[in-house]
Amino acid sequence: ILYNRILLTGAAGNLGKELRPFLRERCNKLRLSSRRPIDLEGDNEELAVLDLADFEKVLEATKDVDAIVHMGGTSKEDTWNNVLQGNIVGMYNLFEASRQNKVKRIIWGSSVHAIGYHKRTDVLEPDCVTKPDSLYGVSKVFGEGLAQYYFDKFKVESVSIRIGSSFPKVADWRMLSTWLSFDDLRHLVERSLIVPKVDHTIIFGCSNNDQSFWDNSKVGYMGYKPRDNAEDQRPYLEENVKKPPHDDTAITYQGGSFVVAGHFEDK
Ligand code: 15L
C-alpha cells in the first residue's frame, strides 16, 4: 500500500482502464472520476462523477486524497472550447483543489504533442524547449507550466509524463520511437508514486525503444527502467503496414500526424 486514497481521473479512458486494477492494489481506497457513471469493481473503489471544468466538484473529489493519477481531459486535437474546458480549466481546477485539500502528489499524462514540432532527428531531454503541434499540445505545455508553478509556490509535487503512444501494440512506423507499453506505463506510474522526492519532474513516457528520440538520463533518480522495446514488433509492421514515404510529415516530426491535423473551429 503506497497511499491511503488515490484519485484516478479519466478512469473510463484507455489509460485509466489500464491503470485502474493496478492502482486498486496500491491504496486503501481508489476514487475513480469520470464524466459518466461507471460500475465499481473492487470493494475498495468509490466513484466521483464529475466534469473537470466544475471546480466545486473537483474540490469535493480531491478531499482526503493523498495522490492523484490524472489521465482525464481531452486526449487529442479538438475544438478550442473542448481543449480549454478539459485540459486548461480542468488542469487548473485539479491543481488548485489539490493545494486547498493538501494532496501530496499529482502524476498526470502530458504528451509528446507538447514537443511535437521537434524533428525526429532531434534528441530531446525533458528540459528541452517545448514545441506544441496542436492546441491540444499547447494545453499540455500549459499543464507542465502549471505543475511547475504549483510546486515552486505551494510545494504540490507532480510528475508530468510526456506520454508517447501508449497502445497495446505498435501500430505504425512512428511508434517504433514513441511506443509506451502498458507494462512500462504502469511501472512509470508506480515509480512516480514511490520516489520520495520528485518536486516537479518531466519525464518522457516511452518504452526501451531502439529508435527512441528521447533521453531520460537527467531524470535517472526516477528509477524508470522500461523493459519493452517496440523493435520487437517490427516484423508486424514490415508485413502489414506500408512504410511512409521519406518526406511524409507523419514521420518527419515527433508529433506525427498531429502536425498536419486540422485546426478545429468552435462549432
Ligand atoms: C496522444 O497524445 C494521444 O492521446 C494518443 O491518442 C496518441 O495519438 C498519441 O498522442 C500519439 O501521438 O501517438
Q: What order of strands is seen across the sheet that includes strand 3-9?
A: 45-49, 27-34, 3-9, 67-70, 105-111, 157-163, 200-205
What does the pLDDT look like over 79-102, one tens digit per residue? 999 999 999 999 999 999 999 999
Beta strands in the chain (DSSP E): 3-9, 27-34, 45-49, 67-70, 105-111, 157-163, 200-205
- Which atom of ligand 1 approaches the CA of 14 most closely? 6
Lowest mean pLDDT among 57-61, 100-104, 263-267: 263-267
Q: Do 23 and 6 meet the contact criterion of CB atoms below 8 Å apart?
A: yes
Per-residue pLDDT for 162 more than 90?
A: yes
pLDDT-based confidence at 2, cuts 50/70/90?
confident
Residue of 3, 92, 117, 136 with catalytic role? 136
Q: Using alpha carbons only, give the angle 14, 15, 20 rounded to the nearest 5 degrees.
A: 110
Per-residue pLDDT for 210 more than 80?
A: yes
- Please give the CATH topology (third level) of the domain spanning 3-259: Rossmann fold (3.40.50)
> At 85, which amino acid appears?
Q
ipTM of the complex: 0.98
DSSP-assigned beta bridge partners for residue 33:
9, 48
Using DSSP, state whether 176 is helix, strand or coil: helix
For a substitution probing ligand 1, which of 15, 112, 206 has the most ligand atoms within 8 Å of its CB? 112
Our CA dihedral for 18, 24, 25, 29, rounded to 10 degrees, sits at 160
What does the pLDDT look like over 22-39, one tens digit per residue? 999 999 999 999 999 999
Q: Which residue has the cell 484519485?
A: 7
